[in-house]
Amino acid sequence: MKKKCVLVTGGAGFVGSGLCKELVVQGHQVYSLDNYFTGTELNHVDSVTYIRGTTSDIKELITFTPDLIFHLGEYSRVEQSFEDIDLVWRFNRDGIVAVLEFCRAKGCKIVYAGSSTKFGDGGLGRMQSPYAWSKASNTELVMCYGNWFKIPYAITYFYNVYGDQEISDGRYATLIGIFKERMKNNLPMSVVLPGTQIRNFTHIDDIVAGLMLVGEHGSGDEYGIGCKESFSVREVAEMFGGEIEFLPERPGNRLTADVVTEKTLALGWRSKRSLQDYIKNLRALK
């Protein structure tokens, strides 16, 4: 990628910090805008300029013109979104309008991180939670702004990102993060019923590699970044070993999701990391 001025919203989060690190390695001038809702200063990367604030205030907070914006900084939990409607609206709905208006004024490209929940359960997944609906409708707004105002854009979709620095405790912990923490503390693996929910798990390094390609070459919708290999939640728990305890079913918990990666594969992206190998290494280090 030609050297650029790049803004990463959510740059202090799990995926954002991994992306910032790679952008710095490749010599770009990198800025992060993060409200630190789930991000942390522990994820800061040397040579990145960090700006604290919410994306709805991007016009006031960002006084320069980026060449490219990776918009990752949104609310990103399914089950918890039923209790966090106000946060979903503020971070996702107010935020996307402000970011798109900023792109419109500055003429910069946006790479938007959509949600693979949009493809869940034959397309019904987009309506199954406040989070899923907000992300699916945001992708439509990004496309509309691209058509209405000729804003260059690309939309990506992540599939269950895992790896170092993911959140492993508290309300916003990820599945693999939770299992890692429970294994470390010799606790049973907690599986939400029915346990047959199918997931595709993608290592953070593969996600970042996909984002870099889409940032450089992507245009339009449906740049899925996801490992084709899938497992049920119960199968993943069994990989970690030990006992399994089942938890009651939860709203918004999709059973399947199509992996839409054709356009990303066409750019030369391939997933290189295996969840099975990752868990095997974790167990060996325990």
Give the rounded percent of residues in the chain with a pLDDT score beyond 70: 100
What band does 185 get if pLDDT is binned at 50, 70 and 90? very high
pLDDT for 239: 96
Averaged pLDDT, 31-55: 97
* Count of domains for the chain: 1
**Alpha carbon distance 121, 37 (integer Å):** 29
**Within 10 Å of residue 186's Cβ, how many Cβ atoms?**
9
What band does 120 get if pLDDT is binned at 50, 70 and 90? confident
Averaged pLDDT, 181-200: 94
What band does 253 get if pLDDT is binned at 50, 70 and 90? confident
CATH number at residue 53: 3.40.50.720
**Contact predicate 132/115, CB 8 Å:** yes
217: containing domain: 5-285
Tokens of 44: 């800061």
Does the structure show a pLDDT above 90 at 103? yes
* Count of all residues that appear for the chain in the document: 286
Phi, psi for residue 16 in degrees, rounded to 5: -60, -40
Does the structure show a pLDDT above 90 at 132? yes
**Contact predicate 280/177, CB 8 Å:** no
HEC per residue, the chain? CCCCEEEEECCCCHHHHHHHHHHHHCCCEEEEEECCCCCCHHHCCCCCEEEECCHHHHHHHCCCCCCEEEECCCCCCCHHHHCCHHHHHHHHHHHHHHHHHHHHHHCCEEEEEEEHHHHEHHHHHHHCCHHHHHHHHHHHHHHHHHHHHCCCEEEEEECCEECCCCCCCCCCCCHHHHHHHHHHCCCCEEEECCCCCEEECEEHHHHHHHHHHHHHHCCEEEEEECCCCEEEHHHHHHHHCCCEEEECCCCCCCCCECCCCHHHHHCCCCCCCCHHHHHHHHHHHC
What band does 171 get if pLDDT is binned at 50, 70 and 90? confident
Of these ranges, 97-101, 121-125, 241-245, the one predicted with the greatest mean pLDDT is 97-101
Average pLDDT of the chain to the nearest whole number: 95
User: What pLDDT digit, counting tens, does each position of 201-214 carry?
Assistant: 999 999 999 999 99
Tracing tokens 């019904």 back to the chain, one arrives at 124
Tokens of 188: 């049973």
**Alpha carbon distance 112, 58 (integer Å):** 15
